[in-house]
Chains A and B, each alone.
Chain A
Amino acid sequence: MRKHLLSIDDLTRDDIERILGRAQSFAEISGRTIKKVPTLRGRTVINLFYEASTRTSSSFELAAKRLSADLVNVKSAGSAVDKGESLKDTVQTLSAYDPTAIVIRSPHVGAARLVARWTAASVINAGDGKHEHPTQALLDLYTLRRRAGALEGLRIWIVGDVLHSRVARSNILAFTRMGCDVTVCGPPTLIPRGVEELGCHVAYSLDGIEKADVIYALRMQNERMTGAFVPSLREYAARFQIDGRRLGAGQLLMHPGPVNRGVELAAEVIDSPQSLIVAQVESGVVVRMAVLYELLAGGGDPGDEMSSLPPALVRPESVA
Chain B
Amino acid sequence: MSSAQLDRAPAPAADLLVRGARLFDPRTGLDGEADLLVRGGEIAEIGDGLERPDGCEVVEAAGLCALPAFVDPHVHLRTPGREDEEDIESGTRAAAAGGFGAILAMPNTDPVVDSASIVRSLRQRAREQARVPVGFMAAITVGQKGEGLTEMADLADAGAPGFTDDGLPVVSAGVLRQALRYQRLSGGVIALHEEDPALSAGGVMHEGPVSALLGMSGIPSISESTMIARDAAIARYEGGRIHVQHLSARESVAAVEQAKAEGVQITAEASPHHLCLTDEEVRRTLDTGYKMNPPLRSEDDRQALIDGLRSGIVDCVATDHAPHSREEKEQPFETAPMGVTGLETAFAALHTELVLAGVLPLRLVVERMTAGGEPFGIPAPRLERGAAANLCLVDLSAAWQVGDAGYESRSANCAFDGRTLTGRVRMTVAGGAVAYRERSFAIQGVA
Interface contact B212-A87, CB-CB below 8 Å: no
**In whole angstroms, what is the CA distance A88 to B336 when docked?**
14
Determine, out of A31-39, A103-111, A302-310, the stretch whose residues face the partner at the interface. A103-111
Interface contact A109-B332, CB-CB below 8 Å: yes
B307 to chain A minimum Cβ distance, whole angstroms, is 23
Determine, out of A19-27, A51-59, A94-102, A125-133, the stretch whose residues face the partner at the interface. A125-133
Q: CB of A206 within 8 A of chain B?
A: no
Q: CB of A315 within 8 A of chain B?
A: no
* Cross-chain contact of B212 among A9, A88, A194 (Cβ < 8 A): A194
What per-residue 1/0 map shows which CB atoms of A83-125 lie under 8 Å from chain B? 1110110000000000000000010111101100000000000
CB-nearest residue of chain B to A131: B215
* Cross-chain contact of A82 among B216, B332, B336, B413 (Cβ < 8 A): B332
Q: CB of B211 within 8 A of chain A?
A: yes
B318 to chain A minimum Cβ distance, whole angstroms, is 23
Interface contact A109-B212, CB-CB below 8 Å: no
CB-nearest residue of chain B to A132: B215
Interface contact A198-B335, CB-CB below 8 Å: no
Q: Given the interface contacts A192-B211, A192-B212, does A87 sit within 8 Å of B332 by beta carbon?
A: yes
Determine, out of B122-130, B269-277, B323-331, B376-384, the stretch whose residues face the partner at the interface. B323-331
Interface contact B211-A84, CB-CB below 8 Å: no
Interface contact A83-B215, CB-CB below 8 Å: no
CB-nearest residue of chain B to A197: B209
Indicate the size class of the contact surface on chain B.
Answer: 20 to 34
Interface contact A319-B330, CB-CB below 8 Å: yes
Q: CB of A166 within 8 A of chain B?
A: yes
A220 to chain B minimum Cβ distance, whole angstroms, is 17
Residues of B within 8 A of A320 (CB): 287, 289, 403, 412-414, 417-418
What per-residue 1/0 map shows which CB atoms of B199-216 lie under 8 Å from chain A? 000000001111111111
State how many residues of chain A have any CB contact under 8 Å with chain B. Answer: 30
CB-nearest residue of chain A to B412: A320
Interface contact B333-A109, CB-CB below 8 Å: yes
Interface contact B213-A84, CB-CB below 8 Å: no
Q: CB of A193 within 8 A of chain B?
A: yes
Q: CB of A65 within 8 A of chain B?
A: no
**In whole angstroms, what is the CA distance A88 to B334 when docked?**
16
CB-nearest residue of chain B to A193: B207
What per-residue 1/0 map shows which CB atoms of B256-289 lie under 8 Å from chain A? 0000000000000000000000000000001101
Residues of B within 8 A of A129 (CB): 215-216, 332, 334
**In whole angstroms, what is the CA distance A129 to B213 when docked?**
12
Interface contact B328-A84, CB-CB below 8 Å: yes
Between A83, A110, A164, A319, the greatest number of chain B beta carbons within 10 A of the residue's beta carbon is seen for A110
CB-nearest residue of chain B to A129: B215
Q: Given the interface contacts A193-B218, A320-B412, does A169 sit within 8 Å of B213 by beta carbon?
A: yes
* Cross-chain contact of A130 among B216, B328, B336, B414 (Cβ < 8 A): B216
Interface contact B330-A108, CB-CB below 8 Å: no
Residues of B within 8 A of A166 (CB): 215
B76 to chain A minimum Cβ distance, whole angstroms, is 19
Complex interface residues of chain A between 175 and 226 (CB less than 8 A to chain B):
192-195, 197-198
Q: Given the interface contacts A82-B332, A320-B418, does A195 sit within 8 Å of B289 by beta carbon?
A: no
Query: What would 9 A/B residue contacts be, using CB atoms closer than 8 Å?
Result: A9-B213, A109-B334, A110-B286, A114-B332, A129-B215, A194-B209, A194-B212, A320-B287, A320-B418
Extra inter-chain contacts (9) besides given A131-B214, A192-B212, A320-B414, CB under 8 Å: A83-B332, A83-B335, A84-B328, A84-B335, A114-B332, A194-B210, A319-B287, A320-B287, A320-B417
Binding site for A on B (CB under 8 A): 207-216, 218, 220, 286-287, 289, 327-336, 403, 412-414, 417-418
Binding site for B on A (CB under 8 A): 9, 82-85, 87-88, 106, 108-111, 113-114, 129-132, 164-166, 169, 192-195, 197-198, 319-320
